[in-house]
Structure 1
Amino acid sequence: MGLRLIIAEKPSVAKNIADALKIKNKKDGFFEGNGYVITWAFGHLLQLFDAKDYDKKMEKWQMENFPFIPENFRYKVKTDPKKRGKEDFGARKQLRIINSLMKRQDVQMVISACDFDREGQIIGDSIIYQLNSQKPVYRLLLNEWTAEEVLKGLEKIMPNSEMKPLQDAGISRQWADWMIGINLTSVATLKYQKGSGKALNIGRVLLPTLKIIYDRDKEIEHFVPEDYFKLAATFSTDDGRVYEGIYIENKIEKFKNRADLEAVQQALINRKAVIVDKKVELKKEYPPYLFNLSNLQGFITSKFKGWTSDKVLKVAQSLYEKKYITYPRTASVVLEESLVEKTAKVLDKLKTGLPYEHEIQFSKKKRVFDNSKVESHSAIIPTYVIPKTLSNDEAIVYHAIKNRFIMQFMPIAEYEETRITTKVNSSDIKGMFATKGKVQLVEGWKKVEDIKSNDVILPLININELVNIVEHKITAHTTTPPKQHTEKTLLRVMETCGKGIENEDSNEIMAAILSGYSIGTPATRAETIKKLITVGYITMENKNLVCTELGKNLVETFPVKDLFDLEFTGRLEKTLSEIEKRKFTKEQFLHLIVNFTVNAVQTIKNSEDVTLSKVTRAKKKFEVVGKCPLCGHSVIEGQKGFGCSNWKKGCKFVIWKNDKFLATMKKKPTKTMVKKLLAEGTVLVKGLTSKKGSKFDAHLKYEKNIDNEYFSWKMEFAEKKA
């Protein structure tokens, strides 16, 4: 029987599969043993051709060459981000290794083990089908990389042909974004920008996201604050029990006219009141749902400083690849019903030793297990692999996921809500005073994160009881504008295209997520926010996201209004998810995108000539810090060090900013220090740290080595002051 070749999306995942199969034999670019060969990609190894790869005339952007739609989309080895236009050496090497493994006589089948999503599907498929393998191709679909799941999954591999709808959706997304991005970015840059060097980015997901932030900024700008007044009174029983009530008349508690409340206040003098109604209700408070990616990003970015949604995704991805959590790029907040047994096992492992362990009880709850509310992937939960060590960032994300999971199986929190209505004995007072208070009876799941309630505790008072009016006051308030978007609130709007965003548990949210009606996917939203900041359309002020001048101008000027429309974008994303469900074809979708692109290019060409952005290139000024001890030319400060300006002619003099010798003593070279060193040949450096952690001062010299052109540090200890 021949070998099975597995292609994983990343080296770390290949290692997880090799560990599960107990394969220790690692070679250059693959593992081999026990009937398997396991190799890997580094995410995408291939990328779509650039326009200039199809046609030389596209090397220079010229308006008459657009729209440009290739007859057939083609792929090439991905380019190296550090070497513009050059292909990535590592990607080329790995493709050769995969190709030679696929051609081996003893390999009988190929198994794609890339992530179980659109992107993962095309990462594997683009490699396998580009290399033209004639061998049968299968698909391994897993939600976590624990040994147990890998072994189970390998028994249930399916023909990759069954994944055609997912492949079609992935390719449709990729080709559509290329067509819209390349054509509209090029034409918009030519039309609206003066100067060259930086493009005006236009994208299918970028622009509607920008519009959400723009709209909120405009709401705030046009907001007109209004004053309103409230009347509060303090009541007490004859034996000194005290409570407060707010005046309500015809269901209104915020009054625009202060005089109305002053008349009521006047009528309170020397009056008694009576409790006319008291309602006590026992209420239940359920824990928040399990995390999907957007909720996890929102939770972490709003709770912890310095976190972005992009960072949350990177950390969650790392936890997933280390086998600690399930697949993070999910839109679901519930689990598939088939996971009941596995979930019970995970809970058993995680609850051990917790102070409230005796309160954690597993049960198959509809709020946790519900097939009808799972979209592709179940919610994010921990696996049975308990981490031994975690970095600080990993610990923050892991514990959030673990706590949210444990909460589901703790008792439901219960509280008693009391509503009291107090009426003042005066015919001049038409309204009543309303009082509300809560008493937490069962803390339940709130113990997991020590959530305390700031509830008003009311004294024990009864209906028909007479009370005294102790105090009353009118307070002035002003309506506040809507708050600026944060990553948390923006992700919510993107996830649902603005449907039902007020209530996290709303059915509207569930319906929007399940139908795929959204802006972008869980995997791409963080990247979109990051890109909006990078290209200069929005900026971050503390945790708030705000439009820049360029962002505002773009929204107000760019003529292809469909690209800003949440409905339009939501429909496109929904269509992609319908391709996955075989309700729409790739051909229909691409036909739609080609027509949209051609019309959009024409619209931009016909629009008014406006300058949105001016690109000016300032010449870099280098500060001279002294003379080179080797050749006498100027030493200048660069980004990474202080080096000789004569370096093009071969001068090797440089003091690196991350100098390793100084780093051992917890120091970096400063401009002042280098200036003094070059002027006097020696410099006194204070506050160096020894290996044992104590501080000391020393004179440093930077001298040329006798046997080569490089320099080394010499150190003399400074005399201690008496």
Structure 2
Amino acid sequence: MKLILAEKPSVAKNIADALKIKTKKDGYFEGNNYIITWAFGHLVELYDAKDYDSKMARWKMDNFPFIPDEFKYKVKSNPRNRQYPDGGAQKQLKTIHRLIKRNDVAMIISACDYDREGQLIGDSIIYRGGRPKKQVSRLLLNEWTPKEVLQGLENINSNETMKPLRDAGISRQWADWVIGINLTSVATLKYQKGKGKALNIGRVLLPTLKIIYDRDKEIENFKPEDYFKLTATFQTKDEQQYEGTYTEKKQEKFKKKETLDQIRDAIQNKQGVIRDKQVEKKKEFPPFLFNLSNLQGYITNKYKGWTSDKVLKVAQSLYEKKLITYPRTSSIALEESLVGKTASVLKTHAEDLPYKAEIKFMKTKRVFNNSKVESHSAIIPTYLKPKRVTGDEQIVYQAIKNRFIMQFMPIAEYEETKLTTKVGELNGVFVSKGKVQLVEGWKKIEKIQSKDTILPLVHVNDNVSIVGSKVTSHVTKPPKHHTERTLLRVMETCGKSIKEEEDSEEMLGSILTGFSIGTAATRAETIKKLKDVGYITTQGKNLLSTALGRRLVETFPVQNLFDLEFTGRLEKALSDIQKGKANKQEFLNIVFNFTKESVETIINDQDVIINEISSAKKTNEVLGTCPQCGGKITEGYKGFGCSNWKKGCKFIIWKNDKYLSTMRKKPTKTMVKALLKNKRAHVKGLTSKKGSKFNAYLRYEKNPDNDYYSWKMEFK
């Protein structure tokens, strides 16, 4: 019997389906000589500081720096009350370890995601009770389709070969714990006045904030400058017209209007002559296959209301539904070994397309290139076609599918014409550019419209007349605020590539050597956290630093944490540990020493307030009368509850209510008021399992057998 541990229940179900196992028991599937169990992501977590030493329960400067001699793990805490373990995690851990000890289990196979976080999740569970006296193997897959699962189980690795990946995961986890716990605590004690949320300090958080801050300051300090252009309208012998811009020494922008006014006066009623005509055919290749950052950038830029965090969650859902390959990848190419499989996937998805005849599979270096793949290939669809997906999933899936098919469509081609028109004895010339799309190619897929600028048919030495001219004034524009798309690009390349639309070799090199801020898997989480802690805010699609974020950048003395190069080197070191090129303990020693020095720097820094939290108590609005005891219902941090909770009243509507979350809703003040007043609330915009929207009446009624309440739905 072989025991497989999956990272999530949905993945365990995919494996069970592939192995045609139907029997489900409490916490696992069993059949056909396999047992398949699952985690819920991390089932264990690092100790809190107070778990090591009770004095750490209170923050005092004298307690820091605090670095444990030995890092220990405990069952994941209950998110509603961190003093207690999560009951579901505790139960599932017991189930897994009971299965590991079963006499008929000869092999344990970790099937968690093939990345450092997935390795850490699997190993932290399997080895929690000590090293099993059974063979531990590793299933390494890029997708969860039945074919891949069966093939992968035929080619499992020893889990010991994954030690570098495990070391990288542990190094990242311990480093972030030490930096976060120490610097957040000390910074909050030093720079925050009043009680409230801590002043968050993090290895990836601060350099990301600095990127946004720097762009904001660049915009603030930008001084607009006026410049001028001269445009002339020419007419050919057959009365066709075209425009040309005056250019002198390759410059078409002039600071002095008078200069262009004089030239404009000098060319009145003059003739021009075509001095040069250059016609060049150019190719337009499709954009590279998506990695996670590019997918997040594309979707957040194209669709209103999307965040990179949302894109990742939707992509993860598609991955677990077996519809796309592993999404948390930094690669924009496929492994060369995937040629045959890719051809088959392309054939499946090309079947019903109107331009099917133009799709032709080819093995090219742009698509298949081992040197451009790090751990996981780029994101592409699997051979399975979607049957039931939500509206959000359809948006992300279609983008991935389109980008995949583009690679095998004809290369787009256009013709570019450049005319140079000379007038009299002027030092400069008038330059005109035209562009005509010759082959639409891959642009058909997303109906990308090319703007043609058609120039008349002329030849060198043809004479033309000037029929109009004008001097126009312009103002230089400041750089644009960062969006999630541009921020992700800077994080991905550690600022190495500043051309946002360019996929250069240098940019790819910096990504693939691991020299970046965070990883594909964590960048979205970092941006979300910056918003949550109040360091940045959004204005439409733009990201801006807040007053708190700015004060932090301008005041916090540990400048290395804002430095992209410093953070990039740490991420590069983690990447090298993963590849077996660097030592875990050496990396941790660097982090521990940096933390000790940083704590000392903060303690010895000048006394200044970065964040002041008002101590004035908020008057909590009474939303209605408690249906159970007649007390007052008010809004709390985690829910809408009764003022008599200390006396034992259990009435509460949780803000993360599971029933409502299945329909993508959270309770609001308005909803709670209606429930308390009318015993039911009309709720709009609920989402069904199929992804469609609907409205309904909801009741929140006491269970007859106990003191708790349950939801009931009505449609009248």
Q: TM-score of the superposition, structure 1-length normalised?
A: 0.90
Instruction: Report the counterpart of residue 493 of structure 1 in structure 2.
Output: 490
Give the match's secondary structure for 2:127: helix
Cα distance between partner residues in 2 of 1:444 and 1:704: 62
Name the counterpart of 2:33. Answer: 35
| Residue 460 (1) aligns with residue 475 (2) | no
Q: What secondary structure is seen at the aligned counterpart in 2 of 1:607?
A: coil
Structure 2 CA distance for aligned equivalents of residues 485 and 37 of structure 1 = 49
Shift, 1:623, TM fit: 3.8
Does structure 1 conserve the Cα–Cα contact (< 8 Å) formed by 2:626 and 2:676? no
Q: What does 1:379-398 align with in structure 2 at a 5 Å threshold?
A: 379-398=378-397
Cα deviation 1:604-648 (Å, max 9, x = unaligned): 1111111111123443424457778998x6755547999875676
Q: Are 2:262 and 1:263 aligned?
A: yes
Correspondence 1:432 to 2:425: no
Deviations 1:72-122 (A, max 9, x none): 111000111122322110000000000000000000011100000000000
Question: 1:599 corresponds to which letter in structure 2?
Answer: E
Distance 1:619 1:372 in 2: 59
| Alpha-carbon distance change, 654 to 397 in structure 1, aligned in 2, over 3 angstroms | closer
CA distance 1:613–1:439, change in 2 (3 Å) = same
Task: Tell me the residue number matched to 1:541.
Answer: 539
Aligned equivalent of 2:522: 524
Q: Are 1:615 and 2:613 an aligned pair?
A: yes
Q: Which residue of 1 aligns with 2:80?
A: 82
- State whether residues 625 and 675 of structure 1, in contact with CA within 8 Å, keep that contact through their aligned partners in structure 2: no
Aligned match of 2:159 = 160
After superposition, give the CA deviation of every residue in 1:195-245 in whole Å (9 maximum; x if it has no partner).
223211111000100110111011011100000000111111122111111
SS at match of 1:244: strand
AA of the residue aligned to 2:404: F
1:570-611 Cα shifts (integer Å, max 9, x gaps): 011011111111111101111111111111111111111111
5+ unaligned residues in a row in structure 2: which ranges? 686-696, 711-716
Q: C-alpha distance in 2, partners of 1:624/1:491?
A: 43
TM-superposition CA deviations, 1:431-490 (whole Å, max 9, x none): 100001111000000000000012211121221111111110011000011000000000
Distance 1:145 1:670, change over 3 A: closer
2:415 and 2:291 map into 1 onto residues whose CA distance is 31
1:353 and 2:358 aligned: no
Between Structure 1 and Structure 2, how many residues are aligned? 692
Q: CA, structure 1 residues 578+236, in 2 after alignment: closer, same or farther (shift >3 Å)?
A: same
| DSSP 3-state at the match of 1:84 | strand
**In the TM superposition, what are the counterparts of 1:125-144 in structure 2 within 5 Å?**
125-132=123-130, 133-144=132-143
Report the secondary structure of 2:83's partner residue. Answer: coil
Residue in 2 that maps onto 1:446: 443
Q: From 472, 475, 485, give the equivalent of 2:472.
A: 475
Matched letter for residue 281 of structure 1 = E
CA-based RMSD: 3.3
The amino acid that maps onto 1:283 is: K
1: CA distance, partners of 2:444 / 2:493: 31
Report what 1:551 is aligned to: 549
User: One-letter code of the match for 2:14?
Assistant: N
Opposite residue 462 of structure 2, the aligned amino acid is E
Pair 1:607–1:34, CA change in 2 (3 A): same
Q: Look up the match of 1:218.
A: 217
Q: Deviations over 1:331-377 (max 9, x none)?
A: 00000000000000000000011010000000101110000111111
CA distance, structure 2, for counterparts of residue 655 and residue 67 of structure 1: 40
Give the letter aligned to residue 147 of structure 1: P
Q: Report the counterpart of residue 600 of structure 2 in structure 1.
A: 602
The one-letter code sitting in structure 2 at the alignment partner of 1:598 is K
Matched, 1:363 2:380: no
Cα distance change, pair 706–128 in 1 and its aligned pair in 2 (3 A): closer
Q: Greater shift after overlay, 668-677 or 292-301? A: 668-677
Alignment correspondent of 1:17: 15
Matching residue's letter, 1:192: Y
SS at match of 2:454: coil
1:693 corresponds in structure 2 to: none
- Secondary structure in 1 aligned to 2:414? strand
Task: Classify the secondary structure of the residue corresponding to 1:578.
Answer: helix
Task: Please state whether the residue corresponding to 2:521 is helix, strand or coil.
Answer: helix
Q: CA deviation at 1:544?
A: 0.7
- 2:118 pairs, out of 111, 120, 131, with 120
Q: Distance in 2 between matches of 1:677 and 1:112?
A: 49
Change beyond 3 A, Cα 1:481–1:385:
same
Bigger radius of gyration, 1 or 2?
1
Is 1:514 the counterpart of 2:512 in the alignment? yes
Distance in 2 of aligned mates of 1:607 and 1:10: 46
Alpha-carbon distance in 2 for matches of 1:644, 1:395: 42
SS for the counterpart of 1:297 is helix
Question: What code does the residue aligned with 2:234 have?
Answer: F
Distance 1:547 1:23, change over 3 A: same
Read off the aligned partner of 2:217 and give its amino acid letter: K
Q: Deviations over 1:250-289 (max 9, x none)?
A: 1110000000100110111110101111111011000000
Following superposition, the deviation at residue 321 of structure 1 comes to 0.5
- CA distance in 1 between partners of 2:650 and 2:339 (Å): 65
Match of 1:717 in 2: none
CA 1:118–1:625 in structure 2 vs 1: closer, same or farther (change >3 Å)?
Answer: closer
Alpha-carbon contact 1:673-1:683 (below 8 Å) kept: no
Cα deviation, residue 654, structure 1: 9.7
Structure 1 residues 483 and 273: CA distance shift in structure 2, 3 A = same
Which residue of the partner structure matches residue 279 of structure 2?
A: 280
Note if contact 1:625-1:637 (Cα within 8 Å) is conserved in structure 2: yes
The 2-side partners of 1:362 and 1:32 are apart by 41
Amino acid corresponding to residue 354 of structure 1 in structure 2 = L
Equivalent in 575, 578, 587 of residue 577 of structure 1: 575
Question: Alpha carbons of 1:399 and 1:266: their partners in 2 closer, same or farther (altered >3 Å)?
Answer: same
Distance 2:229 2:180 in 1: 54
Could you tell me which runs of 5 or more consecutive residues in structure 1 were left unpaired when the two chains were aligned.
Answer: 690-697, 713-722
CA shift for structure 1 position 505: 1.8
Quote the residue 2:253 is aligned against.
Answer: 254
d(CA) in 1 for partners of 2:335 and 2:384? Answer: 20
1:629 and 1:485, CA in 2 relative to 1: closer, same or farther beyond 3 A? closer
TM normalised by structure 2 equals 0.91
Identity of aligned residues (%): 67
Show CA shifts across 1:287-321 (max 9, x none): 00000000000000000000000000000000000
- Residue in 1 that maps onto 2:338: 339
Q: Give the Cα separation in 2 of the matches to 1:29 and 1:279.
A: 71
Query: Relative to 1, partners in 2 of residues 1:216 and 1:32: Cα closer, same or farther, differing over 3 Å?
Result: same
Counterpart contact for 1:142–1:153, Cα < 8 Å: yes
Structure 1 residues 405, 635: closer, same or farther in 2, change over 3 A?
same
**Is contact 1:625–1:634 with CA below 8 Å preserved after alignment?**
no
Q: Is the 8 A contact 1:624 1:634 kept in 2?
A: no
Q: Is the 8 A contact 1:219 1:482 kept in 2?
A: yes
Quote the offset at 1:501 in angstroms. 3.0
